[in-house]
Amino acid sequence: MKQTKCLIINLVIFYLLGLLLFFRGYFIDRRYLLDTTEGKMKPTQPVIFLIIDSFRIDLAVSQHFTFFKNMTENKPDQSLFFLSFAEVPTVTGPRLQAMTSGNFPPLSKLLDNFHASEIKEDNIMFQMNKFNKKTLFSGDDTWIGLYPDQFTVKFPQKSFNIGDMHSVDQFNCDKILENLDKGFDLIVSHFLGLDHAGHKNNKVLNNPDLNQKLSQLDQIIALIYEKMPNDTVLIVAGDHGMANDGNHGGNSTEETNTLFFATRKQGKFYPNYMKHIPELQDNYQSPLINQTEYIRKISQIDIVPTLATLLGVPIPFSNLGYLMNEFFNSEEHCLNNLKQVWHFVETVHSRQGKFSYFQKSQWQTQYSEVKTCKDALILMNDIQAVSRKIWNEYDIPLLNLSFVLQGLIVVFFILVMVILFQAQQNDDLITIQQITAAFKHVLQNNKKSSIVLAILSIFLFLLYELEILITFLLIVLIAYIDFGLLLKVKKNHIQNLNQYQWDLIETPDSIKLNNRFSKLLQTAVFFFFLYKIFLQGNLLLSIQQKKFEERYLYNEIIQLIVLSSVIGIFNFISRLIDTQEDSSTLFKVKDVIISCISAIIIYFALNFEQFYLTFQHYEILNQSFYMLYLPVIFLHGCLFMYHKKSPILDKIIAQAGLILIDIFYIYPNAQMEDQPYKEWVVLHIPKIIYIISIYYYFSKDPIFLMLSCIVVSDKYGLAIYSYEILIFICIYYHWRNLVKFSLLSFFAMISLICQITWFIFGNRCTISSIKVDRAFVGVKEFHLWLNPLILTLFLLGPYLIGLIFIKYIGPKLCKYGELNERQVKNSNNLFKLMFLFNFYLQVQFTQIHSYENAGGLIDVQFKYIFDSVTLLIVSLLMLLI
């Protein structure tokens, strides 16, 4: 068994390396130019720059926030209100970089939202510091990670405590008011309360905390405006919006549509300036707000040249934004902006080869003909549009090589499963010595090829980066190992064949001859699995933006259930014809009835999850007492059956843990006038469950890890997990008579149920689907290691249940798969590999789609990250369980 596990570990390591190399070639950081713009300091207008986290544009004109609407109506020449478009990923770190450097951050900057790294390229803060401008910052500490030494005075506040909706915002207000008359050129303040109100309650509409927060911010901004000096410009901007469930990160309208507002007490703005340039008229229609309520749509990078011009510092070197001339009505400022953008285009073209020669020549002609601000703005708009499309870089040679590697790993996967299956047919223990001997045999017969490959590797190292060499060597290694495993498969096949012939001579009556109908059924089930792969591949490869939801997966599973029922009926006919089977006709009829009833239960269970739990139609649960509490009884019954042969201590601890989870979910939601222990239950029961999960170290029973997954799920997690287990049980009864034809198809169905349950919990393909509130179950404050771990438990739960079910059901599958005790030896590992193989195929489809849509569909790119990380964790769990 140790040798078998070693082989599986090698397989897991290889396919994780393959995923990592693709990840390395796809999600790479942009090559930054570290040049800085040189220039002279110009006259300064003091600026108060307020960033309100997750400030969606429709919230800025709601009944709870009236400041902007009042200002644009009463002082139209001293107020500007724009729709500001936030690029993906719509999280704070990358958005701040865009609003200070003027360039498009790559997808890899997503991590800056959790652990900010210093921005090296030229930016507003650097220019302010270089000219000794006096700056003050208060609020979200992400700014200090991005600009650690750039502010004159700073008051950072922790940003991940979503339970705190008021203290940071009030602190910001107090600091701004205290320092208004102290001569600061720039005051930056980042407000967090609105974002926390969305995350905490997981909704925007009908959210009393969010409405209260809007009213408070409305009063704070009005107070700052009233108290600020007459020569100061007040700017309010959102870093991004938020989806209707209070989260953000993706590319939906709700997440990308934020705002940019500016006002002053002296002088005037020119809100109608762009109406004279029809070439730049934007027909963008936001469903959140009427187009007449804002001036026009801007990109967040357009804030940078505007802010730099107001503050009297040079525009940062890498800026691709064009200034909002509604502030200035100045030909000079426009042309200076164009000079800076064109200098950057020439530099990045000469050093990095960005932009085609034809595109550069076309722009060169336009640049030489620019005479007015209108010409400059049109050219800069074109440069910005092209840059947005091509800015993310990809390592194409590494990506292509990684696909070759992944293909060989799929072969490796299949060969390992075949070897494990063959090991069930005889007493041949899989030893490392045998695999090594086969590997050496391949090497000795390919010495010349090995020498040529070694020389080619040296050239690759000299011509390309180290990752290319590593990928190439892995391809060669996997190819040799595949040949070695193939030799092992052939050897085992010959041994099994000879043993089968010997058994025919010795005990002919004990050998069940397969009739043609059985072979036909075996072929049908094999094509069933191929059809399942086709459905899943078609689902992923035809995905359109914002369309990948669990509904598609639901339809796929229903199709497979119908198809498997048809195959099951043909199997019933085959069993009736087969005179050698000992079972009576009545027993065979009973099996087919149970199979059909199980399929019907699966159908209705999926429908219930789909139309009630998925779409948050929880009224049926609240109105029907038994619908809410039946899952509690069901889970305790399942746990009792699971631990039927376990030690008594395991039974007591597991049942006690599940009882605590029942209390955690039922007590706070009970209709009681007085709940004195509610806070204790909400805060401390999860901690007790986390401690109980540590008992896994002693028992090696994954059910104790599962308790933590259940406690961090949402209010109806008990019901969702109950339905998942019920469907698993029904799939077992539906498929048990087909298991002898194909175990792989059975585990493919199990993995699909795990995936759809993951969707039913409210998860989606984008980063914005992450339910941040789940990371704070049982804890109040953010901890860098604890909260991500809790969130991982929430995301992992549906797949962990699948692995636990496989462990429990394994012996029964061996029985119905007609395996004896000798053949069960490697079954557990084989079953886990079959479950994992289906998951791996799903990741491959997502990977191909991400490659085909490089720079395009962000949803699929994030789904690839989720699938890869989940596959990694499930693989580790597979080795532990």
Residue 83 has what pLDDT?
94
For residues 787-806, average pLDDT: 85
Residue 140 main-chain phi, psi, to 5 deg: -50, 120
Top pLDDT among 138 and 89 is at 138
How far apart (Å, rounded) are the C-alpha atoms in residues 213 and 795?
30
Q: Evaluate if residue 746 carries a pLDDT over 80.
A: yes
- Please state which of the ranges 298-312, 456-470, 710-724 shows the lowest mean pLDDT: 456-470
Residue 754 has what pLDDT?
85
Q: Which runs of E-coded beta strand occur in 223-319?
A: 233-238, 257-264, 297-299
Residue 257 has what pLDDT?
92
Instruction: Tell me the residue type at 575.
Output: R
Q: How many CB atoms lie within 10 A of CB 829?
A: 21
Instruction: Match 């010595």 to its residue by tokens.
Output: 433
How far apart (Å, rounded) are the C-alpha atoms in residues 832 and 839?
11
Determine contact, residues 468/460, Cβ cutoff 8 Å: yes
Tokens of 208: 């009393």
Residue 567 has what pLDDT?
84
For residues 430-440, average pLDDT: 53
Rounded to 5°, the CA angle 739-741-746 comes to 40
Q: Evaluate if residue 819 carries a pLDDT over 90.
A: no
Cα distances (Å, whole numbers) of residue 604 to 554, 611, 619, 622: 12, 10, 18, 20
How far apart (Å, rounded) are the C-alpha atoms in residues 228 and 474?
63
Q: CB-based contacts of 450: which residues, under 8 Å, 6+ apart?
A: 443
Across 702-727, b (16+ Cβ under 10 Å) vs e yields bbbbbbbbbbbbbebbbbbbbbbbbb
Q: Evaluate if residue 51 carries a pLDDT over 90.
A: yes
For residues 298-325, average pLDDT: 93
For the chain, give the percent of residues with pLDDT over 90: 24
Q: Evaluate if residue 259 carries a pLDDT over 80.
A: yes
Tokens of 113: 């939202």
Model confidence pLDDT, tens digit, residues 133-182 = 999 999 988 898 888 888 999 999 887 777 778 888 999 999 999 999 89
Farthest-apart Cα atoms in the chain, separation: 105
Residue 155 main-chain phi, psi, to 5 deg: -135, 75
Cα distances (Å, whole numbers) of residue 527 to 569, 739, 835: 16, 14, 18
pLDDT band at 80 (very low <50, low <70, confident <90, very high): very high
Give one DSSP letter per residue of 451-512, joined into a string: HHHHHHHHHHHHHS-HHHHHHHHHHHHHHHHHHHHHHHHHHHHHHHHHHHHHHHHH-GGGS-
pLDDT band at 501 (very low <50, low <70, confident <90, very high): very low
Model confidence pLDDT, tens digit, residues 559-605 = 888 888 888 888 887 777 765 666 677 877 888 888 888 888 888 88
pLDDT band at 854 (very low <50, low <70, confident <90, very high): low
Determine contact, residues 561/686, Cβ cutoff 8 Å: no
Helix H or strand E encompassing 844: helix 827-852
Q: Evaluate if residue 324 carries a pLDDT over 80.
A: yes
Give one DSSP letter per residue of 518-558, joined into a string: HHHHHHHHHHHHHHHHHHHHHHHHT--TT---HHHHHHHHH
For the chain, give the percent of residues with pLDDT over 70: 76
Domain residue ranges in the chain: 1-28+394-511, 29-291+298-390, 512-880
Tokens of 295: 């001036």
How far apart (Å, rounded) are the C-alpha atoms in residues 119 and 175?
26
Residue 617 has what pLDDT?
47
658 burial level (CB within 10 Å; 0-12, 13-18, 19+) = buried
Beta bridge partners of 238: 52
Determine contact, residues 754/541, Cβ cutoff 8 Å: no
Q: Evaluate if residue 266 carries a pLDDT over 50.
A: yes
Residue 618 has what pLDDT?
47
Residue 119 has what pLDDT?
84
Q: Evaluate if residue 800 carries a pLDDT over 80.
A: yes
- Please state which of the ranges 17-21, 672-676, 795-799 shows the lowest mean pLDDT: 672-676
Residue 513 has what pLDDT?
40
Top pLDDT among 501 and 163 is at 163
Determine contact, residues 787/776, Cβ cutoff 8 Å: yes
CA distance between the termini of the chain? 14
Q: CB-based contacts of 400: which residues, under 8 Å, 6+ apart?
A: none
Q: How many CB atoms lie within 10 A of CB 429?
A: 13
How far apart (Å, rounded) are the C-alpha atoms in residues 635 and 721?
8
| Sign, CA torsion 68/73/75/76 | positive
How far apart (Å, rounded) are the C-alpha atoms in residues 542 and 783?
40
Top pLDDT among 744 and 385 is at 385
Instruction: Name the CATH architecture for the domain at 29-291+298-390.
Output: 3-Layer(aba) Sandwich (3.40)
Residue 108 has what pLDDT?
66
Model confidence pLDDT, tens digit, residues 267-288 = 899 998 888 888 887 778 888 8
How far apart (Å, rounded) are the C-alpha atoms in residues 204 and 308?
34
Residue 510 has what pLDDT?
40
Residue 395 has what pLDDT?
72
Q: Evaluate if residue 545 carries a pLDDT over 50.
A: no
Residue 507 has what pLDDT?
45
For residues 412-419, average pLDDT: 76
Determine contact, residues 281/287, Cβ cutoff 8 Å: no
Q: Evaluate if residue 804 carries a pLDDT over 60.
A: yes
Q: Evaluate if residue 260 carries a pLDDT over 90.
A: yes
737 closest CA partner among 550, 588, 516: 588
Q: Evaluate if residue 318 carries a pLDDT over 80.
A: yes
Cα distances (Å, whole numbers) of residue 315 to 320, 367, 391, 786, 811: 10, 19, 20, 41, 69
Model confidence pLDDT, tens digit, residues 330-381 = 899 999 999 999 999 999 888 887 888 888 899 999 999 998 999 999 999 9
Top pLDDT among 472 and 387 is at 387
Q: CB-based contacts of 152: which residues, under 8 Å, 6+ apart?
A: 133, 134, 135, 136, 184
Q: Evaluate if residue 442 carries a pLDDT over 70.
A: no
* Residue 542 CA from chain centroid, whole number: 19
Residue 28 has what pLDDT?
66
408 closest CA partner among 784, 21, 827: 21
How far apart (Å, rounded) are the C-alpha atoms in residues 164 and 535?
45
pTM for the model stands at 0.75
761 closest CA partner among 732, 734, 799: 799
Top pLDDT among 300 and 820 is at 300
pLDDT band at 502 (very low <50, low <70, confident <90, very high): very low
- Please state which of the ranges 565-569, 614-618, 875-879 shows the lowest mean pLDDT: 614-618
State the average pLDDT for the chain.
79
413 closest CA partner among 310, 476, 482, 515: 482
Residue 307 has what pLDDT?
95
